[in-house]
Chains A and B, each alone.
Chain A
């Protein structure tokens, strides 16, 4: 866990350098370090030092505490140590403009619903809805279903249509194949009408 150290603003290896020319000389000495590994916040996807400019700063802090405890501690210490940080918000207010910027929202996960539609008395198709909110690519999933059940499977709009009655099997397969899908996320909506 040596990486977070690079993210501590105090060191400022690049910001200190005045002219790019100088920096190039400096970099040649420690070229072995490239590519630099930059850690991004799991909440807002920004480098840690920019989290404070987004609306969910508190959430970010909690995330740091969980994933990079040593960085979190150091960041908190810096915040306490420097007095200038304290009156910054007031200055910012004066300059007007927009308030804190909202991080782009992650789509809320909805339930995956699996249903069966009667085609003609004795034939069925299985319809799977709501997969895309779980970060599953519909196109790839449709292909997987087709291959797995050896039948036709296609994407139509925001749902996947599988030719044949595979309601139970699809539920098992989804949980097995995609670690991000829990059994509770899937709902059997039973018989549907077109």
Chain B
């Protein structure tokens, strides 16, 4: 989603969010990510200013205090940015890919089933269409955020083709968007 994303070109407008909208977002986020609840005061502080960054292709990024924190496309689910995920790795469930897959993921490729079922990988049970963090064999930090295209069981049985869609990965356009003015 953010492969060819450049903050300067793809942002169409930044607006301050209304407090009622913020309330809605906060409730939605906590509903979607139960792991977020214990950190909600730190991640979603009440006093900070919330900005909604509207971008091309109907991408919306929520920035708190100038820092992009969550994003979504169209009416899809909100997803945390990788920088936030690195700080609070427990807010998302994760899948682990093997070593060989890392560089493909880092160049934006979707995660193929064999990369999730081989020896170096670990596949946790997850539903289709759920948001997961992608970790790598031998690494501490997650390298990508993805959307399960198949359920974990299906990945095991099919073992071919795309298993997780790569939405946001290290070194992509959103990663390089650190501050919002």
| Max chain A Cβ within 10 angstroms of own Cβ: one of B38, B137, B140, B170 | B140
| Interface contact A95-B140, CB-CB below 8 Å | no
Total number of B residues with any Cβ neighbor in A under 8 Å: 35
What's the least CB distance linking A132 to chain B, in Å?
10
Give the residue of A11, A31, A36, A137 whose beta carbon is less than 8 angstroms from that of B86: A36
| Max chain A Cβ within 10 angstroms of own Cβ: one of B35, B93, B103 | B103
| Max chain B Cβ within 10 angstroms of own Cβ: one of A15, A31, A45, A98 | A15
A54 at the interface (CB under 8 A from B): yes
Q: Which chain A residues numbered 65 to 99 have a C-beta less than 8 Å away from chain B?
A: 88, 91-92, 95, 97-98
| Interface contact B141-A47, CB-CB below 8 Å | yes
| Interface contact A45-B94, CB-CB below 8 Å | no
| Max chain A Cβ within 10 angstroms of own Cβ: one of B94, B124, B141, B171 | B141
Taking residues whose C-beta sits less than 8 angstroms from the other chain, chain A's interface range is 35 or more
Give the residue of A35, A49, A98, A137 whose beta carbon is less than 8 angstroms from that of B140: A49
B contact residues around A12 at 8 Å (CB)? 138-140
CB-nearest residue of chain B to A54 = B171
On whether A19 and B124 interact (CB within 8 A), knowing A14-B89, A137-B181, the answer reads yes
Closest A-B pairs by Cβ, 9 of them: A35-B87, A20-B93, A38-B86, A47-B141, A101-B107, A49-B139, A53-B103, A27-B90, A53-B106
Q: Which residues of B are at the interface with A, using a C-beta cutoff of 8 A?
A: 35, 38-39, 42, 86-90, 93-94, 96, 99-100, 102-104, 106-107, 122, 124-125, 135-141, 143, 170-171, 175-176, 181
